[in-house]
Amino acid sequence: MIRLATSQIGLDGYRVDGEESGELLDLANDPVARAAGAIQYDLTVTRAGDELVVQGTVAAPLSLRCSRCAQFFSTTVRVSSFLHAYESAKHPEFLDVSDDVREDLLLEIPGFPLCRDGCRGLCAQCGQDLNESPCGCAPPEPEASPWAVLDQWKAAPGSPPPRGRASQGRT
């Protein structure tokens, strides 16, 4: 839990940095992401009228499953512009920013994580990791394009396009 003491806020604000367990992210049962260490935070709380403004940076080391090859890899997600405002009347002694830190970090996890840009993934036929070695599967047969009739059309100047299924009912 990341709790900030509101009684410590001076004219220039109150700065706090530290670590919080990666369990705060609640990723224990997630099939794609796992916490791989402590969350680092460096936050400043200031008063702005009737609000408490918290800004700073947070970062968390994670282990993510590559969306192409399904192997786990290490990375760090960062929020370099953490910024939230809270009503000061609701937080007379302490301000808990844990939920907002968790949410902001989770939003930084990529939707389709890749272990590297050139990841070749898995063979769709046999499941071989193509980053390790090629598989022995025959390449899949290309499917006929619905536009194939246009590929075959060699237009003479002024000639109409071929009539096919794609052009039926059109004038």
Q: What is the pLDDT of residue 9?
A: 84
What does the domain layout of the chain look like in residue ranges? 3-107
User: Running along the chain, 171 residues long, what does each successive block of 10 average in pLDDT?
Assistant: 86 91 94 96 93 95 96 96 91 90 96 94 90 86 77 66 57 50
Please state, in angstroms and rounded to a whole number, the distance separating the CA atoms of residues 115 and 119: 7
Strand partners, 42: 17, 57
Q: What is the pLDDT, as a whole number, of residue 13? A: 87
Q: Would you say 58 and 78 are in contact if contact means Cβ atoms under 8 Å apart?
A: yes
Tokens representing 167 are: 């052009």
Instruction: Look up residue 152 and give its two tokens.
Output: 């075959």
Q: What is the pLDDT of residues 23-53, one digit of tens each?
A: 999 999 999 999 999 999 999 999 998 899 9
Angle at 84 between CA 83 and CA 85, to 5 degrees: 135
Distance, in Å, from the CA atom of 3 to the CA atom of 75, rounded to the nearest integer, reads 26
Buried b (16+ CB within 10 A) or exposed e, 32-47: bbbbbebbbbebbbbe
Per the CB < 8 A criterion, the answer to whether 92 and 118 are in contact is: no
pLDDT value of position 166: 53
